[in-house]
Amino acid sequence: MATTGGRATTGPAGAVASGTTNSNVSQREDLANFISMITRDETPFLSSIGKSKASSVYHEWQTDELAAPGDSKLVDGADFAAPGAGGSEGGAAFNPVGSNRTRLGNYTQINGKTIAVSGTRRAVDQAGVADEYAYQLKKRGTELRRDVEHDLIHGYQVANGSGTRTMGGFQSFINSEDTCVYSSGSAVASGDANKGTVAPTLDLVANRAALALSDIDASMQKIYEAGGSATKIMLSPKLRRDFSDLMVSDSGVRRNIDEGGKLRQSVDIYMSDFGDLMVVPNYIMGLQTDDGIVAGEKKDSCALIYDPQWFALATLRPMAEVDVGQKGDSTVGMIVEETTLEVKNPKGCGAIFGLK
């Protein structure tokens, strides 16, 4: 507060009228005793899947599937079919037990956040904060959950190089022509797809196509034919709106206006030919991110079609506070956890890539 000739010229409420003296010196500040946080903290995908336990840095599981339906008729009095190459059942090639079994795995990823609060900051009386360290601990923990959500839905490839271990997310396991569709017409991954080691093609924004109901139906049909039954479709906020608009533009369905005059704009459940899909928005899928692995940005680029029963977060080390202690005049701590994504059977889920 500046003074002129012993008279106050400014105060907490602004300028002071000419000729007045210290009119604002005793005025209390009006600072509310709370802190309003507006950033979203939901984790829709993480909250929908199960939990399991990892016991090594490379967590593995097995998948299996039945042989394709075919001819199993036998002649009266036929001998048993010899297992292995060259054998037969009803004239068809006979596969030995376990031939369709696959072993998949994912590396655990260490995630962490650091907190450092000075001694003064912990000692002073602050509005809305009883203990700055405790407040920052809670805030950083929430940020960590959001980071894990980001990696689960965007993580592209399993990696265990000399640097940081990286877990493969949804898109590193669910990206093959078995159950996925490219709206833009790009080629779907093949070869080692569905094993966590292949990233889907991420087209540049200019080359992408709009979401269409035919893409959803095509993926749902592939999932059904593979033996799965998806129950959720996860979309960015922009694509969530586009999906509701498709009900009018693609199907010609009129908006529902009830007796009270309320207009229903959104579509919560899509009843496809191969099962009902709950439409779930995920704000993280609408954030502009680019991890440098693939060309272009991931924002609004895909739709995830899945059944939560096929996924689990496998934990090697649960989230915990590491008390680093005093560093000079600051209290330092860390939040650390080590987890990975378990995709129990990739063929039970699908995705639509190349969206804009």
Is residue 226 within 8 Å of 192, Cβ to Cβ? Answer: no
Q: Tell which residue, 239, 258, 317, 242, has the closest CA to residue 56.
A: 317
CA distance 264 to 259: 12
**pLDDT at residue number 41:** 74
* pLDDT given for residue 327 in this prediction: 81
Looking at residue 76, its pLDDT comes to 87
- Helix and strand numbers (H, E) in the chain are 6, 20
Question: Is 183 exposed, middle or buried, given 0-12, 13-18 or 19+ CB atoms closer than 10 A?
Answer: buried
* Torsion angle (degrees, nearest 10) of CA 316, 172, 216, 207: 140
Domain extents in the chain: 44-62+101-353
CB atoms near residue 294 (< 10 Å):
17
| Residue 315 vs residues 12, 43, 51, 267, 337: alpha-carbon distances, Å | 52, 17, 8, 35, 8
**Segment (H or E) for 163:** none
Q: What is the DSSP string of 166-231?
A: B---HHHHS-BTTT-EETT-PPPB-SSTTTTS-PPP---GGG-B---HHHHHHHHHHHHHHT----
Q: For 219, how many CA atoms within 13 A lie in the half-sphere containing its CB?
A: 29
Split the chain (356 residues) into runs of 10 and give each run's mean pLDDT.
50 56 60 62 90 93 82 78 53 56 90 88 79 86 91 80 82 88 76 76 80 92 92 94 78 62 74 91 83 64 94 93 83 91 91 89
Q: Contacts by 242-247 with C-beta closer than 8 Å and gap 24+?
A: 242/210, 242/211, 243/211, 243/267, 243/270, 243/279, 246/211, 246/212, 246/213
0.85 exceeded by pTM? no
Asked whether the beta carbons of 111 and 144 are under 8 A apart, the reply is yes
Q: Are strands 275-281 and 232-235 parallel, antiparallel or unpaired?
A: parallel
CA separation for the pair 136, 134 (Å, rounded): 6
* Dist CA 331 CA 322 (whole Å): 12
Which CATH code, of 1.10.3470, 3.90.1690, 3.40.50, 3.30.1490, is assigned to 44-62+101-353? Answer: 3.90.1690
pLDDT recorded at residue 313: 95
CA-CA distance, 222 to 181, in Å (whole number)? 9
C-alpha to C-alpha distance for 58 and 160, rounded to whole angstroms: 9
DSSP 148-162: HHHHHHH----B-SS
Cβ-in-10-Å burial (0-12, 13-18, 19+) of 105 comes to middle
